[in-house]
């Protein structure tokens, strides 16, 4: 546990590079619009869609998502009306005929929408984009198990979803009470049976470790119940306690949270238990059954890490729709307005909804390649990096390599002239291993406070 104390710090999760704190209001939006208005391969290439549906009926204290907790009538209707206008506008801009190989609805709680609204939103998308009915597509939706009935599961399959992600977090009653998310195993198990009955291609569970009152005993029982339901994929995230940024987290007693040393023990126990149960450990925090496409993608170099975690690389561009959604298109990151009323005003005025972003430089692309290789494939092929970017890696990154030397002595990684390889021992410290290659971490502007990140351990 000495390692946990040594490497405990704050750092990015690297769902993008540059990371979101580098997005600025004064990014070169005219360059982006000028590029989009030109014809080219980018108007016909495959495209991924992300839709942000921000509403929840109840607050989960741990949540760090952009969400709006409300039971007010009509809020979904108002949102759908604006979302339709944004969809129409963005389809015209990015290209209506691009095949949508991947789509993900996240939130909030996407199933806050009723069945009619879900059907309407899918119709809006199908009217403006080229949705696919091919087996290889990945159309997924996040579900709060407390919010769906069997007829909704049937509807989701009928409108085109083939993957479902259930927000489980933890099955322990005391932990669930502490985070205000009561969903007993007896409620989840029949829902899993219903999903299996409708033959979705994949079922994923989201778990969180580091929550209040979690320990090795409660986590062992949760994992036993997870294993009994046998999801195809499991994403097990490190809880980020940032009460100064997320007011709902102030309801959590920090004295009930596991220490960094305890969290590392939990992470190691989760990894060993799931691998003993037949799951493969993917990247930093995902576990999949051996026949899952993510396992094959890892072998073939088609694994990517983005704002939804790890997924197949089926499109170079990601278009985010809805309040706060982030797009990664060409050389640009763009983020929609994060305040709902301001988002509505922009859409109502016929303006584009994004208000922050950045253009990726050549150095950004190089460092993104390094970071994403380490965090996805657990290795960096130095010769391949040299060929792709026309560099001499060992000569050009002396400071970064020097920073990694203590990690090699601690057995977290191995470095030679051909590759950097993360060891099994180094896996819990992947974010720490990536951080030396982040050019922005210690280069914030003096007129702005430094960005805050979650704990790496």
Q: How far is the C-alpha of 381 from the C-alpha of 309, rounded, in Å? A: 22
Residues 47 and 183 in one domain: yes
Residues 117 and 210 in one domain: yes
- pLDDT band of 93, cuts 50, 70, 90: very high
For residues 232 and 41, the model is more confident at: 232
Look at residue 187 and tell me whether its pLDDT is greater than 70.
yes
How many C-beta neighbours within 10 Å does residue 429 have?
25
Residues 5 and 22 in one domain: no
Residues 54 and 101 in one domain: yes
> Would residue 155 count as lying in a domain?
yes
* Sheet arrangement for strand 419-422: 379-381, 419-422, 413-415
Average the pLDDT over 55-73 and give the result.
92
Residue 242 belongs to domain spanning: 13-321
Share of the chain above pLDDT 90, in %: 83
Average the pLDDT over 26-46 and give the result.
93
Residues 113 and 238 in one domain: yes
The pLDDT tens digits for 74-89 are 999 999 999 999 999 9
pTM of the model: 0.94
> Would residue 428 count as lying in a domain?
yes
CA nearest neighbour of 146 among 49, 60, 27 = 60
Residue 430 has a pLDDT of 94
Tell me, rounded to whole angstroms, the distance of Cα 182 from its chain centroid.
24
Residue 444 has a pLDDT of 58
Residue 56 has a pLDDT of 95
- pLDDT band of 102, cuts 50, 70, 90: very high
Is residue 220 within 8 A of residue 273, CB to CB? The reply is yes
Residues 300 and 378 in one domain: no
Residue 288 has a pLDDT of 96
Residue 307 has a pLDDT of 84
Does the bond joining 11 to the residue before it have cis omega, within 30 degrees of 0? no
Residues 2 and 24 in one domain: no
Which of 264, 292, 321 lies at the terminal end of a domain, its last residue?
A: 321
The pLDDT tens digits for 394-437 are 999 999 999 999 999 999 999 999 999 999 999 999 999 999 99
Is the backbone of residue 35 left (phi > 0), alpha (psi -120 to 50) or beta?
Answer: alpha
Look at residue 291 and tell me whether its pLDDT is greater than 60.
yes
Residues 263 and 400 in one domain: no
Residue 309 has a pLDDT of 83
In this structure, the dihedral spanned by the alpha carbons of residues 306, 418, 415 and 430, taken in order and rounded to 10 degrees, is 10
The pLDDT tens digits for 434-448 are 999 999 987 755 556
Residue 97 sits in a domain of what CATH number? Answer: 3.80.30.20
158 contact partners, CB below 8 Å, separation of at least 6: none
Residues 118 and 261 in one domain: yes
Residue 318 has a pLDDT of 97
Most confident of 183-197, 231-245, 306-320: 183-197
Residue 449 has a pLDDT of 65
- pLDDT band of 338, cuts 50, 70, 90: very high
How many C-beta neighbours within 10 Å does residue 212 have?
22
> Would residue 342 count as lying in a domain?
no
Q: How far is the C-alpha of 399 from the C-alpha of 82, rounded, in Å? A: 48
Share of the chain above pLDDT 70, in %: 98
Residues 299 and 370 in one domain: no
Average per-residue pLDDT in the chain?
94
Residue 380 sits in a domain of what CATH number? Answer: 1.10.10.920
Residues 415 and 285 in one domain: no
Residues 89 and 79 in one domain: yes
Residue 452 Cα distances to 21, 60, 96, 368, angstroms? 9, 21, 38, 20
The pLDDT tens digits for 146-164 are 999 999 999 999 999 999 9
Q: State how many domains the chain has.
A: 2
């Amino acid at each position: 546990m000495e390692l946990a104390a040594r490497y405990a710090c704050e750092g990015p999760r690297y769902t993008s590079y540059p990371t979101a704190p580098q997005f600025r209001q004064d990014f070169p939006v005219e360059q982006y619009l000028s590029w989009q208005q030109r014809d080219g391969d980018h108007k016909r290439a495959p495209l991924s869609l992300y839709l942000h549906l921000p509403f929840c009926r109840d607050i989960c204290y741990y949540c760090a998502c952009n969400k709006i907790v409300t039971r007010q009538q009509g809020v979904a209707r108002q949102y759908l009306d604006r979302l339709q206008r944004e969809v129409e506008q963005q389809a015209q801009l990015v290209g209506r005929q691009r095949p949508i190989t991947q789509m993900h609805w996240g939130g909030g709680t996407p199933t806050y929408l009723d069945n009619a609204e879900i059907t309407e939103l899918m119709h809006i998308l199908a009217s403006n984009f080229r949705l696919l009915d091919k087996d290889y597509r990945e159309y997924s939706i996040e579900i709060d198990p407390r919010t769906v009935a069997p007829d909704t599961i049937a509807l989701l399959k009928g409108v085109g979803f083939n993957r479902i992600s259930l927000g489980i977090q933890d099955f322990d009653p005391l932990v669930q009470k502490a985070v205000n998310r009561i969903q007993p195993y007896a409620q989840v198990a029949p829902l899993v049976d219903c999903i299996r009955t409708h033959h979705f291609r994949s079922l994923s569970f989201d778990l969180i470790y580091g929550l209040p009152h979690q320990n090795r005993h409660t986590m062992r029982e949760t994992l036993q119940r997870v294993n009994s339901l046998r999801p195809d994929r499991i994403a097990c995230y490190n809880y980020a306690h940032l009460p100064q940024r997320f007011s709902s987290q102030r309801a959590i007693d920090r004295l009930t949270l596991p220490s960094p040393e305890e969290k590392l023990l939990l992470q190691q126990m989760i990894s060993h238990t799931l691998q003993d149960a037949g799951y493969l450990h993917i990247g930093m925090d995902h576990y999949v059954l051996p026949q899952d496409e993510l396992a094959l993608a890892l072998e073939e170099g088609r694994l990517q890490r983005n704002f939804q975690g790890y997924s197949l690389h089926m499109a170079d561009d990601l278009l985010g729709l809805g309040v706060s959604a982030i797009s990664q298109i060409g050389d640009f990151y763009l983020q929609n307005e994060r305040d709902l009323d301001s988002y509505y005003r922009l859409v109502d005025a016929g303006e584009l909804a994004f208000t922050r972003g950045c253009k990726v430089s050549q150095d950004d692309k190089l460092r993104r390649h390094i970071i994403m290789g380490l965090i996805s494939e657990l290795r960096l092929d130095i010769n391949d990096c040299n060929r792709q970017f026309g560099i001499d890696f060992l000569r050009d990154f002396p400071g970064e390599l020097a920073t990694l030397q203590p990690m090699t002595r601690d057995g977290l990684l191995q470095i030679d002239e051909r590759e950097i390889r993360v060891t099994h021992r180094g896996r819990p410290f992947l974010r720490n291993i990536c951080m030396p290659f982040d050019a922005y971490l210690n280069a914030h502007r003096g007129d702005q406070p430094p960005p805050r990140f979650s704990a790496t351990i």
